[in-house]
Structure 1
């Protein structure tokens, strides 16, 4: 427990040094045990500076599937453990980017996208157990953790020229 709190404090310190936005770190119901970037822009900056992949959750306040996912995500010790390898971003309602690249197969919600440490959306990482029409929709923490492990494995041996 103490080690987890120390790790969270160190990560928070790193995030603050990169200047997350002043409202930084809102969990929007996905769990205050995670270190959340204040915005997509600050998350991308942190990712490039620290050579970490980004996990982006796009959701809406009125969405029942989003509401169902939030407590499962928030209480997943596996996702919490894996999250230390990511810059975590969650975008609520109007924070959703208007750029179509954040909706590679539609604007359904929730969507979870992974972005490489170089800043490109990784279309190879999706819910392999889900729908072929809604590849970035996840309903269970196990599905998310599986994708996170795949991202970690994919990028752990790569050297990034920033």
Structure 2
């Protein structure tokens, strides 16, 4: 509880510097600190040299609904999330164009953005489909990709 309160306090301080609002969890868990938008998340990430984790989902999607409680209750993802700016985009918040849909517009999609603000196409669900590289259905798959991002950008690693 104290950790979450401190994290929200620091996000508020960061947001005051880069003009963003704290985001909604949209069912993915209020234990995480969510950026208010994709733009503010990328701005925070580039300013603080942190990667951004972007979840794109829809309110009506069965796969999205199945993933939400698993994601929300994953202590491993919660621990790893401290190295990321977390963004979740629901329904009409999905960005247009193919930058955030490199291999299709299926949902849910989880993409990682480098600390320099570029979508990293190398971080995929290696345990998933070769046709839907950014589709994740289990927390273990997500945590595995998060660890790859941490290693790739040489961030301080948690022993999760």
Asked whether the two chains share a fold, i.e. TM above 0.5, the reply is: yes
CA displacement 1:74-117 (0-9 Å, x = unmatched)? 00011011001001000000000002111111000000000001
CA-based RMSD of the aligned residues comes to 1.4
Per the alignment, in what secondary structure is the counterpart of residue 99 of structure 2?
helix
Compare 11-20 and 67-76 and name the one that shifted more. 11-20
CA distance in 1 between partners of 2:3 and 2:30 (Å): 17
Superposition deviation, residue 19 in structure 1? 1.6
Give the number of equivalent residue pairs: 155
**Residue in structure 2 matched with residue 40 of structure 1 by the alignment:** 38
TM-score normalised by L of structure 2: 0.91
* Structure 1: unaligned runs, 5 residues or longer: 158-162
Superposition deviation, residue 156 in structure 1? 1.5
CA distance in 1 between partners of 2:7 and 2:41 (Å): 18
CA distance in 2 between partners of 1:9 and 1:86 (Å): 16
**Residue in structure 1 matched with residue 93 of structure 2 by the alignment:** 95
**Residue in structure 1 matched with residue 124 of structure 2 by the alignment:** 126
CA distance in 2 between partners of 1:39 and 1:89 (Å): 7
* Structure 2: unaligned runs, 5 residues or longer: 156-160
**Residue in structure 2 matched with residue 160 of structure 1 by the alignment:** none
CA distance in 2 between partners of 1:75 and 1:124 (Å): 27
**Residue in structure 2 matched with residue 136 of structure 1 by the alignment:** 134
TM-score normalised by L of structure 1: 0.90
